[in-house]
Each structure stands twice: as structure tokens, then as C-alpha cells.
Amino acid sequence: MLNRLDDYPVHQVGAPVAHPATGDRNAYDRYFFNGYDVAGELFFAAACGVYPNRFVQDAAFSVVRAGVQRSVHASRRAPLERTETVTGPVTVEVLEPLRRLRVAVAPNEAGIEADLTFTARTEAVEEPRFTLRRGTRTVMDYTRLTQFGRWDGWVSVDGERIDVDGAEVRGCRDRSWGVRPVGEREDGAPGGLPQFFWLWAPVNFEDRCAHLDAQEDGDGRRWHQSGAVVPVLADPDAPPVLDPAAAGVEEMATIDHDIRWRPGTRRAAAATLTLRPHAGEPLVVELEPVLDFQMLGVGYLHPEWGHGVWKGEEAVGAGQWTLADLDPLAPQHLHVQQLCRARMGDREGLGVLEQLVIGPHAPSGFTGLLDGAAG
């Protein structure tokens, strides 16, 4: 089955682009975006995913304003034309690859609308490939790129229009593709206690950006890590520089983290991230959370609007939460991005610390499935 991308020399296997290279049901291809203002009063996120072997495409947009998070979710049968990235009221449009993308939200039952353009502040950073095996099965095998940017446009919540100016509103985006658990649960023999430890921390500073991710097992052994310091583009209109060294991206030799957990939760009260380059002194990033964004709002761990779940030919839904009223240890509320004020040496900035911690993690003192940090 052909689509428009087949006219480009992009093929990796001897089949049209619409045919996944793997028959794994959990194959996926996904966009994620976040944005936040320097005052810490506005936070929004958007996502769009295609799950070709489940025949599903879904999308969501979520915004936090005055302590309330509102979301619109949409799902449809996945189109064979991969450039068709409209899902219900949510559109993701690539205006200029690796430079500018547009996220739009048409009128819908959630009372949220938007027309936003993401413009790159840095080159895109390719994170090392994520591969996780449990027994004989590969449960994760994917690649992610992360890119820092600014936002221009507007968001409307219940008729209140909020102008978004790139001088005041920054954020990041990621693109990931490959295989990871999505969709309805699969049957099979029962396994052990679930365990997952994930940190992802892209931080915007004025002249450069810092990035860290870590995934660890229950004993704290790290099975994935990456860190980088990325210069801000001198000319955002210049063509992308694809070689990381030529782009000035400094990839770290090692990274480390020290999370001070809020008592009774699995959320950070503060964090110290250490980036160790191959040469020179370590870079230390101090993070102070100011706002918690529920990743539930864009489908992560959502009991109804989870990624890749079949909802029918066309479906749209809405959600709303007062953040202060949520149980932080409820399973669907474990996955958060915290908007954080950041300091690296004499630099001050703003970024996120994404956290998802399920099951035991000895360095954090977690021994059960959902126990919170000690007081």
C-alpha cells in the first residue's frame, strides 16, 4: 500500500513506508510537545501517536491554568497516509522539518482551542537507542529525539484567550518511534511485580540547554542514560546541522541524579542533576518544582484514553482535574512532568523533570508497588 512518503528515498526495508518493519503489536510513532511561560502560570502539552499494527491514531492537548488541568482527547482509525496527522480536533503539522511545527486545536467539548507554532532554539538531539528485554522478549526498542524551542500563537480556555509569545514561552518536543508497551493489555503468563524508574529532564537556559534521562531497575542499576548540553541556535532560520559535533552538542560521559522526594509521594520536592563531560568539570543543575502536570492529560496511564487503545472509527473526549485534589499515589497519577525553576552555575532557567516510578527502587527507598517516600 503506497502513500506520499514513498516518493522520497527514505525506505529502510523492501516494503512501502506504510508497512511497519516489525509485526509487533506495540509498534508506534509519536510526537510530544510541552510549553510553559516564565512566570510558571501556564503549562500545556500535546501528543499525537500512530500505532500501525493496532490500526489506531490518537492525539491529545492539555493545559494547566490556575491549578486546574483540562484536556481534550481524540482517537481514530489510523490512516494509511502517514502525513495525515489530524485526529479529531487536534492537528500536528510539520512546517519545516527539525525547525518549525504547528499544533492546532479546533473547537471541542473540552472548551480548549489553540493555534501554536513551535520554533527550534537548538538542534535536535538523538538520544541513545532504548532497548529493554524481559526474559526472551524485547519489550522496548525505540529511538527518541529531543529538541528545545519557543512557542508563538494562542491558547483559549473556556473562551479566555491567552496570547503566547516566544519571548516568554519556551518548552521542548520529542519524537520517538519503535516498539514499547501501548494499547490493550496482552494475555499471557503472569509476571512479577511491575517495576519502572524513569527520569527525563530537558531544561532551557538563555544561551544553552541541558538534557538528562535515566532509566533504572529496582536495585538502581541503570539500563539507559544520556546527557547533553546543547547550544542555542545563532540563526534559527539556518538549515539543520545533522552532525552533533558540528552542531556543538556536548554529549556527556556519565550522568547522575539526586531526587529529594516529597514525603508520602513519588514526586520530587527538589532535585540535583549532575552532567559529567568527557573532559572538564561536572555541570550541576539544581531543580525546584513549581507546578505538577499530569501526563494523564495526554494519555499516559489514562484508564480510558490510553495510547493505542481502540476507541472506534472516530472518538473525542474531555477531562478536567483540580490538581491539588488528586491522590499522588493513585496509579494513573504517578506519571508527571514538574515545571521547575533551574540553576546551572550562574545561569537561571526553566524546564521540566518528568518522573514515572512504579514498584521497588532501592536508592529511593521504595520497596513496594506504590509506597510513598518516608517523611
Domains and CATH numbers, the chain: 30-182+194-364 (2.40.370.10)
User: Hey, how many other C-beta atoms are within 10 angstroms of the C-beta on 116?
Assistant: 22
Burial (0-12, 13-18, 19+ Cβ within 10 Å), 101: buried
Task: Give the Cα separation of 116 and 61 in Å (integer).
Answer: 12
Q: How far apart are CA 364 and CA 186, in angstroms?
A: 30
**SS3 state at 323:** helix
Q: What is the mean pLDDT of residues 329-349?
A: 97
Q: How do residues 237-279 score in pLDDT, each as one tens digit?
A: 999 999 999 999 999 999 999 999 999 999 999 999 999 999 9
Q: What is the pLDDT of residue 186?
A: 77
The whole-angstrom separation of Cα 294 and Cα 317 is 17
**How many Cβ atoms are within 10 Å of 324's Cβ, its own excluded?**
8
Q: pLDDT tens digits, residue range 110-122?
A: 999 999 999 999 9
Measured CA to CA, the distance from residue 253 to residue 271 in angstroms comes to 20
Q: Let me know: does 57 contact 30? Beta carbons within 8 Å.
A: no
Percent over 70 (pLDDT), the chain = 100
